[in-house]
Amino acid sequence: MRIGIITGASSGLGRAYAKHIDKRMELDELWLIARRETRLTALADTLDHDCRILALDLTDRESFDLLERTLEVEKPVVSVLVSAAGFGKFGEAQDLTAKETEDMIALNCHAAAEVTRLCLPYLHRGSRVLEIASCAAFQPLPGISLYAATKAFLLRYTQALRHELQGRGILVTAVCPYWLKTEFMAVARDTANPGAVRHTPLAMRPEAAAAWSLTMNGLGAGVVTCGPIPFVMRLGGKILPAGIPMRIWDNIRKL
């Protein structure tokens, strides 16, 4: 059985990936993972593929145990894995609660790495892996310091994973988009200091980011920036001392 696994599939970029993969790949099933079962069911009703709904909270250890058992029973070929589960909170480090700090690290870092680890035995030559990082990964960003740090972890993890899996013929890509027009903004502003980032201009549609990154992953790209702004941020992060992009960002976020 050839399957696709998409975490964070109930909304935003994860949902966009589900729709594009449904149209572009021939699979036996799509496994849709997120906390909100009703949203996953509603999404499944719009897709042509058979879908397996896994209503899992990826900040809970038991969710990984359930996924592991399901994989062991079904023994599928994971043809595509998209780790899109994640969230962010605007605010400086002192503004975040203990739970916000813990959950952001758990979901953005641990969940992505653990779901990937569980899927590794089921990836075959030609399988595709997309880990959803962010252009925030390219430099430290005051005001969203923890979020940016979690995405930096995921970027580096994915780059090393790509190297590790090259011999198996598996395509691995770190996806690093700019702001997206999703529920991310409402969640990010529901914090003690929502004004830490006052504006998020030029946000792009998640459908465009999903389509472009799937195409580039198929071509073997290791990092996909999904637009000119994140490309410039990636370039700046390579050639400039970290203090310069931080100062530029620190001024922009307060406009």
Q: What is the pLDDT along the chain (255 residues), one digit of tens a residue?
A: 999 999 999 999 999 999 999 999 999 999 999 999 999 999 999 999 999 999 999 999 999 999 999 999 999 999 999 999 999 999 999 999 999 999 999 999 999 999 999 999 999 999 999 999 999 999 999 999 999 999 999 999 999 999 999 999 999 999 999 999 888 888 899 999 988 898 888 888 999 999 999 999 999 999 999 989 999 999 989 999 999 988 999 888 887
User: The tokens of 244 are what?
Assistant: 């310069």
Per-residue pLDDT, 255: 79
CATH 3.40.718.10 fits 2-253, yes or no: no
- Annotated catalytic residues are 147
Per-residue pLDDT, 203: 87
Per-residue pLDDT, 109: 98
Per-residue pLDDT, 20: 97
The label of the residue with tokens 């990010």 reads 188
**pTM of the prediction?**
0.94
Per-residue pLDDT, 198: 87
Per-residue pLDDT, 252: 87
Domain range list for the chain? 2-253
Per-residue pLDDT, 201: 81
